[in-house]
Amino acid sequence: MEAIIYITIFIIGTLFGSFFTLATYRIPLGQDITHKRSYCPNCNHRLEFLDMIPIFSYIFLGGKCRYCKQKIKIRYLLFEIFSGITFLLFALSLKLNIFNFDKNVVIYLVFGLLYISTLFLIAGIENQNHTISKSVLLFGFIVNTIYITYLYIFNFDIYKYVIYLVVFLIILLIETIVLRKTGKQNYTLSILMLCFYMVLATNEEVVILSIILTLLMIAITQIIISSKDNKSEIIAKEQKQIPIGTYLCISNIIFLILQNFTIGVNI
């Protein structure tokens, strides 16, 4: 019985993965992501149902658009698969048992998957545009506030969450003031907001480990860049484009799932 649940969650993950590729493309452009039908970015032809089945459509269409025959990047297929696997691993880490139903675990599963979805969107947009999407971050913040409210209603200890919420709002206010004065997003403040959002959704240990892994990934990236036989100006440009937010999101998802597997659910 659990197998059916896990297969369903994997399928849901691939569907979300398909949506993530759409959202990461449209959100930076200010396009609607809920009502406007999917279309081919090359020929602008509206996609039909058979064109949008995760994984299978890519395989059956030979990795090409049905209408203009433009090759579809394989990263879309890989992202759908990776999203499905991530959703599945998160569900497996909770050790769901249909015969021993725990309402709190199910609620945690729903909000946890929404949290992972938010990180996917932040990472995808940041990787392409080197900016932390404030709209996606605020969406995640609102969802997390709802979860904290649920914990409060059922008498869970939420005092530390309230403190982090206040700090998050203060940083958001400062970042908004800086944005109005300079016209540019302050990347450092955005990373700080992302870290506090992660603490709200996980815990201090997971975030610290995520930061350590991120620093390690940055160091490896710097070594790879420095080993290239390029001009210093090109190297400096590449160094500025290191997607710190993307590394943080990936690291946080990894340690969140590992924590659930090893220690248990942090509700």
Helix axes 74-93, 244-262, angle to 10 degrees: 30
Which residues in 70-159 belong to E strands, given as ranges? none
- Sequence letter at residue 93: S
At 238 the pLDDT is 47
Helix, strand, coil % in the chain, rounded to nearest 5: 70, 0, 25
What is the C-alpha to C-alpha distance for residues 225 and 220, in angstroms, rounded to an integer? Answer: 9
Q: Note whether 176 and 56 are same-domain residues.
A: no
* 113 shares a domain with 230: yes
Residue 231 pLDDT > 60: no
Residue range 84-100: average pLDDT? Answer: 88
pLDDT value of position 235: 46
Are both 53 and 179 inside the same structural domain?
Answer: no
Instruction: Out of 74, 101, 128, pick the residue that ends a domain.
Output: 101
123 and 5 part of one domain: no
Residue 4 has pLDDT above 60, yes or no: yes
**pLDDT tens-place string over residues 173-199:** 888 888 788 877 788 899 999 999 999
Tell me how many domains the chain contains: 2
Asked whether residue 159 falls in the same domain as residue 87, the answer is no
Mean pLDDT along residues 256-262: 93
113 & 229 share domain: yes
Q: How far apart are CA 51 and CA 56, in angstroms?
A: 9
Q: From CA 231, how far away is CA 227, in angstroms rounded? A: 11
Averaged pLDDT, 113-124: 95
Q: Which domain does 255 fall in, by range? A: 107-267
Are 94 and 128 in a shared domain? no
Among residues 49, 81, 101, which one ends one of the domains? 101
Per-residue pLDDT, 257: 95
What average pLDDT does this structure show over 217-233? 73
Task: Answer yes or no: do 215 and 266 share one domain.
Answer: yes
- The reply to whether 175 and 215 lie within a common domain is yes
Note whether 170 and 236 are same-domain residues: yes
Domain boundary among 101, 130, 156: 101
Answer yes or no: do 241 and 119 share one domain. Answer: yes
- Compute how many other C-beta atoms are within 10 angstroms of the C-beta atom of residue 236: 11
How far apart CA 73 and CA 55 sit, in angstroms, is 13
Distances (CA, A) of 205 to 165, 211, 250, 253, 255: 18, 10, 16, 13, 9
Tell me: do 25 and 85 sit in the same domain: yes
